[in-house]
Each structure stands twice: as structure tokens, then as C-alpha cells.
Amino acid sequence: IVQFQRSYAIPAMWSGILLLGCLGAALAAVFAVFDRAVLHWYHRQRTEEA
């Protein structure tokens, strides 16, 4: 991204930023599903207490 910024390749820079943002959102979703699968007992207990 920095290389594209320094060479004034603005569309390539923004596409890199967008790609990293999408990758971060996808990883967050994967980890949320993994969290629910591994800690299902914890989340069930919290909903029963509320």
C-alpha cells in the first residue's frame, strides 16, 4: 500500500486498503463462528442468566 502511495498509484492503493478491510472482516466472521462452536456452553450459560 505504501509503495502504491509513494508512486501515486491511488486506485491500486485504495484497492489494497479495501482488500485488507474485507480480509479483516472475513477473519472476524470466521473467528466469531469458531468462538460459538468452541465455547457453546459459555454462550448458552450467558443467555440463561440474562
Kindly report the pTM of this predicted structure. Answer: 0.68
Query: pLDDT value at position 20?
Result: 97
Q: What is the mean pLDDT of each run of 10 residues along the chain (50 residues)?
A: 86 93 98 93 77
Predicted pLDDT of residue 2:
85
pLDDT for res 8: 87
Supply the pLDDT for residue 43. Answer: 76
Q: Where are the domains of the chain?
A: 2-49
3-state secondary structure the chain: CHHHHHCCCHHHHHHHHHHHHHHHHHHHHHHHHHHHHHCHHHHHHHHHHC
Hunting for cell 440474562 — which residue is that?
Answer: 50
Q: Dihedral sign, CA of 10, 11, 14, 19? A: negative
Q: What is the pLDDT of residue 38?
A: 92
16 contact partners, CB below 8 Å, separation of at least 6: 1, 4
